[in-house]
Structure 1
Amino acid sequence: MQHRNYECPKCHNRTYQVDQMQATGGLFTKLFNIQNKRFTTVTCERCTYTEFYKTKTSTITNIFDFFTN
């Protein structure tokens, strides 16, 4: 995901960092610590305001995560 024209909505800065974040979904995934929700984050380098963009996950990735917990 590219944000070439990204501008922070709070401070209007144009420098940022892109990273990934994983989270659990419902009760089953919390109990077994399966992080089946994935997001791309864009963080402003000046004020650290962060936006999250949902990223698609694959079934194979979720199965691998289940067995490598």
Structure 2
Amino acid sequence: MAEGCMKCGSTDAKTKDVSMTGGALSKMFDVQANKFTVVYCTNCGYSEFYNKKSSTAGNVIDFFFGG
């Protein structure tokens, strides 16, 4: 069960998918191989990153709220 944001207690959160570069070679060739889902509190902005490769079909919002 959702408990709320660990910083402010709000239960309103959203997700966004982002890509980031890794080491020097990926920066040189502009390869963004690291893909994450960001879950963020819409009240205070607290955010957590979840690796898309390891977070399969599970609901990352549940992880954010401690579920």
Same fold (TM over 0.5): yes
Counterparts in 2 of 1:6 and 1:29: CA distance versus 1, 3 Å: farther
Query: Which secondary structure state, in structure 2, belongs to the residue aligned with residue 33 of structure 1?
Result: coil
CA distance, structure 2, for counterparts of residue 7 and residue 38 of structure 1: 25
Identity %: 36
CA distance, structure 1, for counterparts of residue 38 and residue 3 of structure 2: 12
Q: How many residues are treated as equivalent by the alignment? A: 54
Query: Which secondary structure state, in structure 2, belongs to the residue aligned with residue 51 of structure 1?
Result: strand
Larger radius of gyration, structure 1 or 2? Answer: 1
Aligned-partner residue type, residue 5 of structure 1:
A
Query: Structure 1 length as normaliser, TM-score?
Result: 0.70
Correspondence 1:15 to 2:5 = no
Counterparts in 2 of 1:35 and 1:16: CA distance versus 1, 3 Å: same
Counterparts in 2 of 1:6 and 1:32: CA distance versus 1, 3 Å: farther
Pairwise CA distance, 1:5? 2.4
Name the structure where helix makes up a greater proportion of residues.
1
Root mean square deviation of aligned Cα: 1.8
Larger RCO, structures 1/2 (Cα 8 Å, 6+ apart): 2
Query: Structure 2 length as normaliser, TM-score?
Result: 0.72
